[in-house]
Chain A
Amino acid sequence: MFREYDVIVVGAGHAGCEAAHAAATMGSRVLLITMNMQTIAQMSCNPAMGGVAKGQIVREVDALGGMSGIISDKTMIQFRMLNRSKGPAMWSPRCQSDRVRFAEEWRLALEQNLNVDFWQEMVSGLLVEEGKAVGVVTQLGIEIRAKAVVLTNGTFLNGLIHIGEKQFGGGRTAERAATGITEQLVRLGFEAGRMKTGTPPRVDARSLDFSKMEEQKGDEQPGKFSYLDTPVLAEQRSCWITYTNEEVHSILRTGFDKSPMFAGRIKGLGPRYCPSVEDKINRFADKDRHQIFVEPEGWNTVEVYVNGFSTSLPEDVQYEALRRIPGFENVRMFRPGYAIEYDFFPPTQLKSTLETKLVDNLFFAGQINGTTGYEEAACQGLMAGINAHNNAHEKAPFVLHRSEAYIGVLVDDLINKGTEEPYRMFTSRAEYRTLLRQDNADLRLTEKAYALGLASQERYDRVVRKKEQTAELVGLLKKHKVAPEEVNPSLENQQSAQLREKTTLYHLLKRPELDMPKLRELSPSVAEALASFTDEIQEQAEINVKYEDYMERERLQVEKLERLENLSINPGFDYEKLTALSKESRQKLSRIRPETLGQASRISGVSPSDISILMVHLGR
């Protein structure tokens, strides 16, 4: 019934879809297996993509030839560039999505890829021969063979949903859990753990009084995620902000004795940066209000997502508390919030390709690795898909460094440090944040993806053009001089110091108070000189000129670190003999087996003095 595939992808969320799309685009024959074809690319949590650090990841996925950016652009209902005032490294694109349209566009994209086949069923086990994954077994007992298998099971592995004192098996609300895989992997020697996450109630927009809330509109000039020609929003939907209060808190407290979290029924660790509302009240008792972010679920639906009110308290307590929130007095609930526990596999069991160390040809991506977030899942799926393809075709692994991409930071963190709570990306996790910007993801990554056969010719041509034109513009800025009499009146208007002699635009642009738009206003001749360059090129040149000293220093730091990165450690190195190392670090090094000294230095529990000791022993 089934041919032998190059790559089987289990699960069709953000990770699974990107994995299937990447491997298929590169030329693999791919089978995507999902328990329910109606829920491909389902946004299980809030209907939004991007945000601080996450938006940068979506840009990187797009630059590499992934689909998340394009699909977000096609299905967004609002766009905002966050952190506009905080410097180019912090600009973070974020959109509100139409949940149904998002899933629909993903399915269409996959259907249009002739290398992708679909099968709707639960995978109950892996086919493993001689330490290698060679396929999967389904619930019906069908064996399907493949050269590589990517597991992206999300929250479905032994998923357990909690609402108050009730609990039932499930991977999402109204969807059943997946069983069998964890048990088999544990028998194979994998370590498994348990994590927890949660969602807020969904409510009926027709029952809300938005006049009591603050409106949050999208950007006046909305941006987008993809470097390709995707559509820009013409009209947008607003979000709304309101706050909890003491009354809400005291009602929530009446349910604490029935809380699965406080009663200890939930064993898994939840994310600290995405706490349930009961957790916020409990841990930050002195705060008298918490922000609630009311997000529409799409263009045409009345369903609304109550962000900030994630909870697993009994549904009647949820309802009573909601009604005390300004604007929610007459609220009708569509479905209650819940907490979900699921299995994950500590990601220190992975190589930098996301292949498991224990079983060859087996890749993990997404929440199965202890991460949280659509963007984190999508980029892992992309990397796993690329490496599964490369693996199936005996090509070299594809790994990104910490200095190249947030994706590199994420994978490196996961495989070296592991994670206790669901791992989410923050810009602060990246040492070289100022180099990993949303404006240059294409410059950093597209050529690599083009070489892989993933990024299209069109993407590649655009990047080459962007580089050439930016260099051309910077050259022009360095050459083009303006005279005092030409620009001093405008400079005065912009409260910038007067010129006393002819000065280049390059030097003027370095002034903190001036930017490209203001340069264009200096004089008609300047405006004319710059007119032929697009906004994107002008922005790129401006960043390069304004911050070149900072970026140069950052690059020097990267070079320094690369030296440690280039000191490789023999794979067979016997850490147990090094009694000088702490017992903890000996154990961790033995288990993780870092490939370089740089990687060793990032393993939690390995101290700088341990690294000095290793260096001495490696003869450095």
Chain B
Amino acid sequence: MAQNQTICALATPPGVGAIGVIRVSGPETFPIVQKLFRGKNLAEQPGHTIHFGTIRDEHNEIVDEVLVSVFKAPHSYTKEDSVEISCHASGFIIQKILRLLLKNGCRMAQNGEYTQRAFLNGQLDLAQAEAVADLIASDSEASHRAAIHQIRGGFSKDIAQLREQLIHFASMIELELDFGEEDVEFADRDQLRRLITEICLALRPLIDSFELGNVLKEGVPVAIVGPPNAGKSTLLNALLNEEKAIVTDIAGTTRDVIEDVLILDGIKFRILDTAGIRETSDKVEAIGVERSLAAMEKADIILKLSSADVADPAFETLFAERMGSSDRVISIRTKADLPENEGVGADLILSAATGEGIDALRDALVTRARGQRTGDTVVTNLRHYEHLTATDAALERALRGLDSGITQDWLAMDIRQALHHLGEITGQITTDDLLEVIFSKFCIGK
């Protein structure tokens, strides 16, 4: 790991945009950039200032007019000297500037290297660094919000409060074990039981939030189901405004689960189009049907389509069997333009052909997705999720132990494991910390 090297990379997404930002970080940042930059002497400028100038190539030709933001160590994201060059976002200009930087002593940053440096230089703790990685991967507003909340330490703060309670609990148990001969009073078991239950209650939403966090990152899965030719693919196309699924008039054309992403009001949806669900003797189609059913069962929102012209009692029976009356279902009458579809009971009536009801459907999707949100802090990191789950499991065992009257030595073991797993997220608690609590609160010693 050569941290003494100066690195550069394009910080904005490649492709079309008005402005591209190139980031440079490392001890040689100012000397290297100054070789290309005509304008003020950057090294002499105070941190957090922006300077106009031009980038010139080796022949002193102007490559672009740019704005350069100056960050002085340790007051930068990486805690190193760094600059951000804002140039025009032409692929040619960006490539040219990066090449010039490389020629003058920079090396291309590897994936996540800026964040890694920020972590290595103590700017971010592990939970925060992982959230940054999530943030970089986030492409919707809700996912972005969850990541930002973690960066600001909201997640660590919630955990820290739980940890305080648990440390107190653990030290009470240790007190009983190590100082049972002393003239001290111990916490009663009912209080301990209440405390663990309370902590578990606080942990659960965090654990559950992982599913939501995952949904935010991955997108809310939405399944579109209905009998063949009910208009599933047409609806998908109308939502996406592009021809992704194969739309034909022959029943049974769509044999695969097609997935596409739709962002509405900052919430990401993963739309699963499904093969028509019906009884079939065609082996290939049967596989598609089974896959559709599986997709449907995993989805958070199910759009169930029906239309009078393709009414299919076999589908209705199959659907009722698999889904019952799940509240995840939005029933939709399609082909509103057909006269026989008028006046039939459904959550929504729409026509993909005329666009009628499409906006109402979009609103309904957003409302449903928002309804799933709970709590403020969302766990989006798998490692955190696993340690929270392990904490919960250890506390569960402690609770069971309390109920079965297990002796304190084993009880303490479960509590310690819970503390250990919480510590994996927020920093470990040592036995010295526990003794510290004991000595500050109790008069120990003969």
Contacts and interface: CB of A to CB of B under 8 A. Distances in A.
A433 B174 CA distance: 11
Contacts of B174: 426, 428
A193 B136 CA distance: 51
A608 B446 contact: no
Given A609-B125, A616-B120, 13 more contacts: A51-B181, A52-B178, A87-B406, A87-B408, A273-B439, A275-B445, A429-B431, A433-B413, A547-B410, A580-B120, A580-B122, A604-B432, A608-B428
A86 B120 contact: no
Contacts of B406: 87, 512
A607 B407 CA distance: 32
A613 B404 CA distance: 43
B409 A87 contact: yes
23 contacts: A82-B181, A86-B177, A86-B407, A86-B409, A87-B409, A274-B446, A280-B443, A283-B443, A290-B443, A291-B446, A310-B446, A426-B435, A427-B178, A428-B431, A428-B435, A431-B431, A433-B413, A579-B121, A580-B3, A580-B121, A608-B424, A608-B427, A613-B120
Nearest to A307: B446
Contacts of B340: none
Given A431-B416, A512-B405, A90 B177 contact: yes
B180 A83 contact: yes
Contact of B183 (A290, A579, A617): A290
Contacts of B446: 274, 291, 293, 307-308, 310
Given A291-B182, A427-B177, A609-B126, A90 B409 contact: yes
A616 B121 CA distance: 13
A550 to B, nearest CB: 5
Nearest to B416: A431
B434 interface: yes
A547 to B, nearest CB: 7
Interface string A70-83: 00000000000011
Interface string A259-280: 0000000000001111100001
Interface in B189-246: none
A307 B182 CA distance: 12
Interface in A373-428: 417, 426-428
B311 interface: no
Contacts of A515: none
Which size bracket describes the interface of A in this complex? 35 or more
A617 B120 CA distance: 10
A273 B405 contact: no
B412 interface: yes
Interface in A549-607: 550, 553-554, 557, 579-580, 582, 604, 607
A89 B116 CA distance: 43
A119 interface: no
A434 B409 contact: yes
Nearest to B394: A553
A525 interface: no
Given A82-B180, A580-B122, A609-B427, A512 B409 contact: no
B105 interface: no
Given A53-B178, A428-B174, A554-B413, A86 B3 contact: no
Contact of B126 (A85, A87, A608, A617): A608
Given A293-B446, A608-B423, A550 B413 contact: yes
B395 to A, nearest CB: 14
A88 interface: yes
Interface in B400-429: 404-410, 412-413, 416-417, 423-424, 427-428
Nearest to A612: B126
Contact of A287 (B121, B404, B409, B443): B443
A318 B324 CA distance: 83
A272 B1 contact: no
Interface of B: 1, 3, 116, 119-122, 125-126, 174, 176-183, 404-410, 412-413, 416-417, 423-424, 427-428, 430-432, 434-435, 439, 443-446
Contacts of B434: 428
Contact of A557 (B410, B417, B427): B417
Contacts of A283: 443
A533 interface: no
In the A-B complex, the 8 residue pairs with the closest CB atoms: A87-B407, A87-B409, A580-B120, A89-B409, A291-B183, A308-B446, A284-B443, A428-B174
B120 to A, nearest CB: 4
Contacts of B412: 428, 433
A275 B442 CA distance: 12
A609 B444 CA distance: 34
Contacts of B119: 609, 612-613
Interface string A129-173: 000000000000000000000000000000000000000000000
Nearest to B425: A608
A307 B181 CA distance: 13
A582 B79 CA distance: 13
Contacts of A617: 1
B343 to A, nearest CB: 64
A254 B202 CA distance: 51
Interface string A501-537: 0000000000010000000000000000000000000
Nearest to B434: A428
Contacts of A86: 176-177, 180, 407-409
Nearest to A437: B409
Contacts of B423: 608
B445 A272 contact: yes
Contacts of A274: 445-446
Nearest to B428: A608
Contacts of B409: 86-90, 433-434
Nearest to B182: A291
Nearest to A554: B413
A525 B357 CA distance: 82
Contacts of B445: 271-275, 280
Contacts of B413: 433-434, 550, 553-554
Given A87-B407, A291-B183, A417 B432 contact: yes
B410 A550 contact: yes
A531 B141 CA distance: 73
Nearest to B127: A609
Interface string A297-313: 00000000001101000
A52 B122 contact: no
Contacts of A290: 183, 443
A274 B125 CA distance: 38
Given A272-B445, A428-B435, A429-B431, A83 B177 contact: yes
A582 to B, nearest CB: 7
Contacts of B181: 51-52, 82
